[in-house]
Amino acid sequence: MPITDYIRTIPDFPKPGIQYRDISTLLGNPEGLRLSVDAIADHFATDDIHCIAGIEARGFIFGTAVAYKMGLGFVPLRKPGKLPGKTYSESYQLEYGEDQLEIHVDAIEPDARVLLIDDLIATGGTAEAATNLIRLAGAHVAGFCCVVDLPDLGGMDRLRRKSIDCLALCEFEGE
């Protein structure tokens, strides 16, 4: 069964006109979750990856599972004020405002090759901010992957323009 079959669409959430792609149904299905984690790990298995970084919060779910499967460590990219040590911070634009991500300054070894993971990419602002943080920490983004891509919003193209190898397990048209 394709990954899209495990993801339900909730119309008009969180506002009218939005088709919300709910991955909770995928997470709740053992086969769907296994397929997702295996597909990501298998795709990047031959790359020289040193650690996995996940974007808060759903990137943690897939990121830690992939890190475990690949025998790698996991680095959380968090919202402001959630990490107790010294951090780098990166701001990014949201549809209605601004947000930030942070990473511990010592979370990644210099020159490490990092696989960045999130559940979904839309416009790519969050993923681009995460990429900037990894680079600020002195590491390289070896790849980006997500379960769901909304290609009409251009996020993957935004990352590819930065020469980042990108993988999405499935796509949905529209917002």
Give the model's pLDDT for residue 94.
76
User: Is the pLDDT at 57 greater than 70, yes or no?
Assistant: yes
Q: Is 56 a catalytic residue?
A: no
Give the model's pLDDT for residue 1.
86
Give the model's pLDDT for residue 20.
93
Q: What is the rounded CA–CA span in Å between residue 166 and residue 157?
A: 9
pLDDT band at 26; cut points 50, 70, 90: very high
Q: How many C-beta atoms surround the C-beta of residue 63 within 10 A?
A: 28
Q: What percent of the chain has pLDDT over 90?
A: 92
Give the model's pLDDT for residue 174.
74
Give the model's pLDDT for residue 93.
85
Give the model's pLDDT for residue 144.
98
Q: What percent of the chain has pLDDT over 70?
A: 98
User: Is the pLDDT at 30 greater than 80, yes or no?
Assistant: yes
- Domains, the chain: 47-171 (3.40.50.2020)
Q: Is 78 a catalytic residue?
A: no
Q: How many C-beta atoms surround the C-beta of residue 47 within 10 A?
A: 12
What's the mean pLDDT when you consider all of the chain?
A: 95
Give the model's pLDDT for residue 92.
92
Of these residues, 31, 90, 95, 128, which one is catalytic?
95
H-type helices in the chain, by residue range?
A: 24-27, 30-43, 58-70, 125-136, 155-160
> What are the tens digits of pLDDT across the range 68-115?
999 999 999 999 999 999 999 999 987 677 899 999 999 999 999 999
Of these residues, 8, 21, 31, 58, which one is catalytic?
58
> What are the tens digits of pLDDT across the range 116-150?
999 999 999 999 999 999 999 999 999 999 999 99
User: Is the pLDDT at 175 greater than 70, yes or no?
Assistant: no
Q: What is the rounded CA–CA span in Å between residue 115 and residue 173?
A: 25
